[in-house]
Amino acid sequence: MAITIDKSKRYGFMPGCSLPSYSPEAVIKTTEYLKSVFPKFSAVQKCCGKPTKAVGQYDLFKERFAQLQQDMDEVGIETMIVACQSCKLTFDEASKTPTYSLWEVLPLIGLPEGMKDKAKNSDIVFTIHDSCSTRNDRPLQDGIRWILDELGYKYIESEYAFEKTRCCGFGGMVVPANPEVAKKVMKRRVETLDSENVVVYCSACRSSLLQGGAKSWHILDLVWGPVVQAGDMAPVDVLSKPVNSWLNRYKSKAGINKAFKS
Amino acid sequence: MNKVKFNESILQDAEKIIDECMGEASAFCQSRCPMHTDVKKYVNLIGEKKYDEAVKVIREQLFLPNTLGRICAHPCEMDCRRGVEYNQPLSIAALKRFAAEQADDEKLWDVTKETANGKSVAIIGAGPAGAQAAINLSKLGYDVTIYDKLKVLGGMMRVGIPAYRLPRDIIDYEYTYLDKLGVKFEMGVEIGKNISFEQLKNDYDAVLLAHGAHKGNIIPMPGHKSEGVFAATAYLMEISLTQAFKGAGKKVMVIGGGDVAMDCARSSLRIGVEEVHQCSLEDFDNLPASEEEIHESLKEGILFNAGWGPVEIISKDNKVTGIKMKRVKTIFDEAGNFAPTYHNEERFIEVDTVVMAAGQLVEDVSGGMLEQTRGGRFVVDKATLATSVENIFVAGDACGSNIVVEAMALGRKAAISIDRSLQGVDLLEGRDLRLEEIYDTNLEIPLPNGTVNLQRLHTNMRPVRERIRDFEQADLGFTEEQALKESSRCLSCECKLCMKECIMMNDFGECPKEIMMPLAKDGDMNVLMAYSCNGCDNCTIVCPHELPMKKIFIGARKDYVAANHGESPIPGHKAIKMHQMLGFSKLFTTKKRGGK
């Protein structure tokens, strides 16, 4: 179903867990931009509880999600925008609030001024790793291609893209359960991509692909960060260092708060 | 953790996987082989140049790889995926011959057997059915003696199949396997003449009739009693034993359209016949003979009259002078009964000899003790090959097989029955008959990605002009280069598509059917396996039946948690608990409302 934007409604944004842990800059700038677009806008940062569900703690999950729903209700969110594919699935299943992916919203509201064609002179050629949790969500996947086109980046599609995408190795809470298998899956995912320069739209996927030996950028790195050229190094793997991750998560939260002060 | 009680939907999904997963389904070739030879395995071993290993795989089922590599009617090739898709089946038989020629060695033969059990079995017939039964029974510890009225080994393979297709030294060599197992032979002994069936029955604990269908069938058409009319069986037998046929003239008509007719026609050339004709009710496109035989017969100069039915043998002074044929309109009536009808179109061919390859009959050796039916075939219970008389069984053409490898499968089946009977076990109880017969594999898979049509390779034949002068082998087989190329065409038909997608399942088994068996049967599942699933769903996506593996792995976690006091049973998941605590703590969370 094609989505439409209705600015009379209150939109809400939740960056999720992995994105705030990876890039406070991306969280803050995205929040600020959305806030500038939507007259009625709220934001929430919390976990959706998916990890509890993934390990089988369904009752705990219900409890946790209820807390998040309560937060959303308190700040009056009528339509939710999420930047995490697991959040998207979780919300679709557990929340009464209609939820869209940031990647399907951006093509509708456009990128901030000055972004168009900013990378048209870049010589890098990316490929895209689609998140496996939303393998059947074509509008979401098309949104990522739209952003790349809009920015002016070149990319090639790999055989295992869209609905045929393969897991990055992070899913199902396998990393702490069976790290050897997770490592193999990460490597195999990288082997099945047609470029060593990979665009992802999940920070956990980004970390997995780095561990699998590829260079990977989050789509928001490309939106908010400098133009990337062939041969550039990808941003370091923050998520593999818990202290840095939590520090970032704190910075993201503080940044969101700050964005709402102005 | 307490004993995990998996919820009903998980157990149902596991059942579904056990029923529908094709991971253990045989390849088409294997399911169509009456002996269930693991074709895919040995063809791929040939491709890896592991010829001795290939021979070992063949020999797990077949004691005469070189023989079958030359003369097997290869039902396996009929269902080969490359045949079904492109009409270019793999040359499986020829590859088998190649492997045997390269690496068959007595040292590879499995001559282990159980200790003697004191019971004895007499087998009538040293053909493929009798020999196979002898092998199986001997390995089980029985004292086996084979009787044959011929002085040579191999039965129909020896006196039916011509030497240019199957050199006799190969039969003799491959039959030495039976000697090594201690099978005894009484050759040149005819049951009912040199020794009575009754005596055999009294002297042995069980008797197996596997004496084939050696009696020729003469069609009673006008002129059939003329001098110069012969049955294919007698014709081929004499040629096999003497490389000549006393009664043959210079122009021969072979009646029939099957492989036996082709054997008669091609053999005729080799004994010096100048002109060889063929006629049959079946037209050229519907000849029952194998494509190879038709092809080689044509090349050798056999003159075909397929679709022309013989109606009268013309003779002068009771000696054949020709044959009259009519063009066939239909062979069967609407009810499916044999009732040929003809157009009003005649053809006459001048010949001095007529050979009828029109079926073969089974002779009675039981002195009337056993009931016979159409073609003289003995009446048996098809599932067990038992007759109405206790401990008397029948196998091979004597009860219904048509080709060598089928005869062998019946020999194996009879051996299983004899063993059960002599051990006092019910013939059918707990018996998996599927293991003894051809079956339909449940393999339904897409062609592997990127499959292209590659032409079937044919073996090298001696030049026609040279080969029709002698009985040396006409077919020289494959060179190594050809064999490697041909084996590389094998599509290795198997499902296991999910196993190529999923990395972790490979750590726990060969396919979902195997992996889910403990869950379906005993409600057990390896906890690490359930928690090693990424939940990506690629397994289900590639599964032709879209089986729910992920649903089980992820769904079962709820039951593990229930059995583990509300916590994940995986030690590494303790970190998630901390993670979640922080992820919900005030320090890292916020909620903000902006605008009006």
Q: Which residues of B touch A39 (CB under 8 A)?
A: 595-596
Same domain, B240 and B345: yes
Question: Which A-chain residues 58-97 have CB contacts (< 8 A) with chain B?
Answer: 58-60, 64, 67, 71-72, 74-76
Q: A56 in contact with B at a CB cutoff of 8 Å? A: yes
Here the contacts of A64-68 (C-beta below 8 Å, separation 24 or greater) are A64/B580, A64/B584, A65/A90, A65/A94, A65/A95, A67/B584, A68/A44
In a domain? residue B535: yes
Name the residue among B57, B37, B63 with its Cα closest to residue B130. Answer: B63
The distance of A146 to chain B (nearest Cα, Å) reads 25
Same domain, B243 and B323: yes
In a domain? residue B442: no
Name the residue among A60, A228, A159 with its Cα closest to residue B450. Answer: A159
Identify which of A67, A171, A177 has the shortest CB distance to residue B584.
A67
pLDDT at B506: 97
Same domain, B288 and B180: no
- What is the ipTM score, two decimals? 0.93
Distance CA A84, CA A18 (A): 8
**Which amino acid, one-letter code, is at B275?**
E
Distance CA B251, CA A71 (A): 102
Q: Which residues of A touch B541 (CB under 8 A)?
A: 163-164
| Residue of chain B whose alpha carbon sits nearest to that of A248 | B588
Identify which of A10, A54, A185 has the shortest CB distance to residue B503.
A185
Taking only the tens place, the pLDDT of each residue in A73-102 is: 999 999 999 999 999 999 999 999 999 999
**Whole-model pTM?**
0.84
pLDDT at B596: 66
Q: Name the DSSP letter for residue A83.
A: S
Q: Rg (Cα) of chain B, in Å, rounded?
A: 31
In a domain? residue B595: no
Q: Given an 8 Å threshold on Cβ–Cβ distance, is A173 in contact with B587? A: no
| Residue of chain A whose alpha carbon sits nearest to that of B506 | A181
Same domain, B351 and B396: no
Q: In sequence order, what are the beta bridge partners of B230? A: B355
Decide if B36 contacts B104 (C-beta within 8 A): no
In a domain? residue B275: yes
Same domain, B341 and B228: yes
Q: Given an 8 Å threshold on Cβ–Cβ distance, is A256 in contact with B592? A: yes
Best B4, B449, B502, B503 residue to mutate vs chain A (most A CBs within 10 Å) = B503
pLDDT at A1: 53
The distance of B26 to chain A (nearest Cα, Å) reads 28
Name the residue among B412, B392, B459, B373 with its Cα closest to residue B93. Answer: B459
pLDDT at B2: 82
Q: Given an 8 Å threshold on Cβ–Cβ distance, is A57 in contact with B567? A: yes
Same domain, B15 and B68: no
pLDDT at B576: 83
In a domain? residue B596: no
Range of the domain at B85: 28-109+461-487
Q: A164 in contact with B at a CB cutoff of 8 Å? A: yes
In a domain? residue B58: yes
Over chain A (262 residues), the average pLDDT of each successive run of 10 is 86 96 97 96 94 93 95 96 96 96 97 95 97 95 98 96 95 94 96 95 97 97 97 93 94 96 80
| Residue of chain A whose alpha carbon sits nearest to that of B538 | A166
Q: Given an 8 Å threshold on Cβ–Cβ distance, is B591 in contact with A185? A: no
Same domain, B337 and B239: yes
Same domain, B54 and B139: no
In a domain? residue B15: yes
Low-confidence ranges of chain B (pLDDT < 70): 596
CATH number of the domain that residue B206 is part of? 3.50.50.60
Total domains in the fold of chain B: 4
Same domain, B293 and B332: yes
Residue after which a domain boundary falls, among B359, B388, B418: B359
Distance CA A200, CA A146 (A): 14
Pairing between strand B338-349 and B319-332?
antiparallel
Same domain, B69 and B54: yes
Decide if B452 contacts B82 (C-beta within 8 A): no
pLDDT at B581: 86
Same domain, B345 and B429: no
Identify which of B503, B566, B579 has the shortest CB distance to residue A51.
B579
In a domain? residue B592: no
Same domain, B243 and B355: yes
Taking only the tens place, the pLDDT of each residue in B438-467 is: 999 999 999 998 999 999 999 999 999 999
Decide if B474 contacts B74 (C-beta within 8 A): no
